[in-house]
């Protein structure tokens, strides 16, 4: 008669062996010491400039012209930042008029009326005090 060990006994001894492996090296480690270095003072001046523009033309029964522009300039020194931003936009609508408005059924001439519907200018500045 051959004596066979039980499966649960083999599994238990294998589990105990695996659990004891990571404990040994972890106990041998010392407490880590951290030393934080002081950051170096940065004395550079950083300039940034950006310009954007756009133009949109449409045609049909009436013509429209849209234009916009934007300029941004910023200066950064250390923790201080100064910024200047300028935006503008213009829109014009051209509408054709056929002849006399009193008699709309008869075309006596072709005229064009221009209406400026948008003219905006926006300027923003920022400079930290202190």
Map out the domains of the chain as residue ranges: 45-130
Strands in 80-98's sheet, in edge-to-edge order, are 45-58, 62-77, 80-98, 110-126
- Banded model confidence at residue 72, pLDDT cuts 50, 70, 90: very high
Bigger pLDDT: 26 or 89? Answer: 89
How confident is the model at residue 67, as a pLDDT? 92
Place of tokens 């926006």: 122
Is 77 within 8 Å of 56 (Cβ atoms)?
no
Return the sign of the alpha-carbon dihedral for residues 11, 13, 18, 23: positive
> Can you name the residues that pair with 80 across neighbouring β-strands?
77
C-alpha separations of 82 from 31, 45, 85, 122 in Å: 46, 11, 10, 17
How confident is the model at residue 23, as a pLDDT? 53
- Average confidence (pLDDT) over 3-9: 63
**In whole angstroms, what is the distance from residue 112 CA to residue 97 CA?**
6
**In whole angstroms, what is the distance from residue 53 CA to residue 37 CA?**
46
């Amino acid at each position: 008669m051959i004596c066979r060990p039980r499966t649960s006994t083999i599994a238990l001894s294998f589990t105990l062996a695996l659990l004891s492996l990571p404990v040994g090296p972890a106990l041998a480690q010392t407490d880590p010491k951290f030393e934080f270095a002081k950051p170096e003072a940065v004395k550079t001046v950083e300039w940034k400039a950006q310009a954007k523009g756009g133009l949109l033309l449409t045609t049909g029964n009436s013509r429209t012209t849209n234009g916009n522009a934007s300029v941004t300039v910023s200066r950064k020194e250390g923790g201080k930042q100064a910024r200047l931003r300028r935006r503008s936009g213009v829109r014009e609508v051209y509408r054709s008029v056929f002849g006399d408005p009193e008699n709309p059924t008869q075309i006596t001439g072709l005229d064009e009326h221009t209406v400026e519907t948008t003219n905006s200018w926006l300027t923003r500045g920022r400079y930290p005090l202190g």
